């Protein structure tokens, strides 16, 4: 059921907005990079600009499946597993792997989003949303990531910027 054609990640709002034909259909809380925004390889920042979903990884895996190197480890996240691996950057449930579309800004060379392994992915539900805490990726609640994964087609456009959601979109009711 791919019904979204644009995702807008607002750094200001720490939110993801999903659109179809210019109409806002979805709003989800996210967590972007602790280090802020930036495109340079090794910066730990969330890259700005226009991107696309280059790969969808994890279809059919259980909720909170642990992914390392874009492969399922066979584990499912739990508080006990979390205690065994303190400090691990948990990538859970699904991955939407981004590729930049703006050469020199977020594509090619030292600013290549795809080669930086920048994803939208699930994270432990114990992690706060609405607060920048990631290592560059965009983190979502596992249930939100699972639902989003089904709604996003390959090559879906993803705009990441500091702009807040437009007022007309903020007034929408998603319940």
- 136: burial class by Cβ within 10 Å (0-12, 13-18, 19+)? buried
Distance CA 144, CA 164 (A): 20
Q: Which of the residues are catalytic? A: 121, 137
Query: What secondary structure letter does DSSP report for 103?
Result: B
CB under 8 Å to 18, separation ≥6 — which residues? Answer: 4, 6, 7, 24, 25, 26, 27, 28, 148, 151, 152
Cα–Cα distance for residue pair 139/15, rounded to 1 Å: 10
Tokens 């895996």 belong to which residue?
61
| Tokens read off for 91 | 């990538």
For 117, the 3-state DSSP assignment is coil
- Beta bridge pairs of residue 53: 98
């Amino acid at each position: 059921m791919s019904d979204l054609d644009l995702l807008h990640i607002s750094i200001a709002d720490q939110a993801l907005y999903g659109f179809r034909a210019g109409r806002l259909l979805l709003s989800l809380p996210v967590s972007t990079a602790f280090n802020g925004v930036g495109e340079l390889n090794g910066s730990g920042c969330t890259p700005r600009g226009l991107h696309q979903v280059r790969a969808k990884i994890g279809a059919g895996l259980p909720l909170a499946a642990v992914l390392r190197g874009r492969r399922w480890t066979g584990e499912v996240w739990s508080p006990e597993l979390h205690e065994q691996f303190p400090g691990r950057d948990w990538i859970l449930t699904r991955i939407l792997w981004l590729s930049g579309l703006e050469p020199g800004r977020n594509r090619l060379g030292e600013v290549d989003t795809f080669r930086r392994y920048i994803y939208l992915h699930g994270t432990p539900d114990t992690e706060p949303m609405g607060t920048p805490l990631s290592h560059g990726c965009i983190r979502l609640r596992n249930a939100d990531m699972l639902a989003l994964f089904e709604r996003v087609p390959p090559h879906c456009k993803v705009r990441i910027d500091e702009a807040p959601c437009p007022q007309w979109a903020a007034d929408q009711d998603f319940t």
